[in-house]
Structure 1
């Protein structure tokens, strides 16, 4: 795995890539190393890098700051870098070899994990494979009509964090933010 780091304007940034750079396994921004971090687990990486945010990462970081976290980690069901979910269907291996280990490790290392993959998490049954890997306090920002955890780009910044009940616990969700 390739690790790229950048420190700028009081913020440390990290991105973890495959050697071919087609997979981005993780992205991390730290602005206050003394405060806890939050993890967002979304569908797949788009254009954000260790140096530049895309609109989704910008939204996640603003939410993390508002909630009092000192850093944000971004991981995904699929590590294949693409701007459209349809591109995941065409990829031979959209998951990537390091994805599950990173999800497990990063979920263990944060105060809160946010499930936020949206409706396309059903692709290759990936959401049901990943949900049991998530540890600790797992939340979501609301559910779609079909019960999928909403993507943060399409949720108000002041939306409450709702408890995400993992499939092995129950098929429902509980609001206790």
Structure 2
């Protein structure tokens, strides 16, 4: 006889009024388990229905690590598949970005810094990383990264199996 397993992933997406910024993407599949926050670079096309590879890998890996929900936030809230760094910071970081990050981190059991290393040569990204490190300082005990060098979830070496270490 077949066994039926059912699951529902509850999703909420928080955008600016003009939808140019996504502040938060919440995914919950088991409210009785721990909650994680994953901080990446910028939001792509994922929203309440449409998902992307990054979101899929985040959910898959956190589920394997026995988490039941995730808040996905980004250092830059501007929606787009390519981050254009030649504009003003206020265009890349929406008015409510840091507030959403702070509130999510405060409620989380784990915070995964997953902005990767690919943009380490950008002054704009380095500047924003420093701002976020200051914002996250009160929560440093919760901060982890994927692997020793801090991978992004799309990195082929870790897509299917995360090893979390304290954020450096």
Do these two structures clear the TM 0.5 threshold for a shared fold by scoring above it? yes
Q: Does residue 1:130 correspond to 2:132, yes or no?
A: yes
**More contact order relative to length (CA 8 Å, sep ≥ 6):** 2
Give the whole-Å Cα distance in 1 for the aligned partners of 2:165 and 2:75: 20
Q: What secondary structure sits across from 2:59 in the alignment?
A: helix
Give the whole-Å Cα distance in 2 for the aligned partners of 1:98 and 1:123: 22
Change (3 A) 1:78 1:143: farther
Q: Which residue of 1 is the match for residue 36 of structure 2?
A: 38
Stretch of structure 1 that moved more, 135-144 or 92-101: 135-144
Q: Which residue of 1 is the match for residue 145 of structure 2?
A: 140
Q: How large is the RMSD of aligned CA atoms in angstroms? A: 1.9
Q: What secondary structure sits across from 1:158 in the alignment?
A: coil
Q: 1:158 aligns with which of 158, 161, 164?
A: 161
Give the whole-Å Cα distance in 1 for the aligned partners of 2:162 and 2:46: 24
TM-score, normalised with respect to structure 1:
0.79
Q: What secondary structure sits across from 1:52 in the alignment?
A: coil
Which consecutive residues of structure 1, in runs of 5 or more, have no partner in the other structure? 1-8, 166-177
Give the whole-Å Cα distance in 2 for the aligned partners of 1:129 and 1:43: 13
Q: CA offset at residue 90 of structure 1?
A: 3.7
Give the whole-Å Cα distance in 1 for the aligned partners of 2:72 and 2:147: 18
Q: What secondary structure sits across from 1:152 in the alignment?
A: coil
Q: What secondary structure sits across from 1:16 in the alignment?
A: strand
Q: What secondary structure sits across from 1:65 in the alignment?
A: helix
TM-score, normalised with respect to structure 2:
0.83
Q: What secondary structure sits across from 1:131 in the alignment?
A: helix
Give the whole-Å Cα distance in 2 for the aligned partners of 1:123 and 1:18: 26
Give the whole-Å Cα distance in 2 for the aligned partners of 1:117 and 1:52: 21
Between the two proteins, the alignment pairs up a number of residues equal to 153
Aligned residues of 1:80 and 1:88 also touching (Cα < 8 A): no
Q: What secondary structure sits across from 2:129 in the alignment?
A: helix
Q: CA offset at residue 123 of structure 1?
A: 4.5
Give the whole-Å Cα distance in 2 for the aligned partners of 1:54 and 1:160: 22
Which consecutive residues of structure 2, in runs of 5 or more, have no partner in the other structure? 1-6
Give the whole-Å Cα distance in 1 for the aligned partners of 2:78 and 2:61: 25
Change (3 A) 1:131 1:94: same
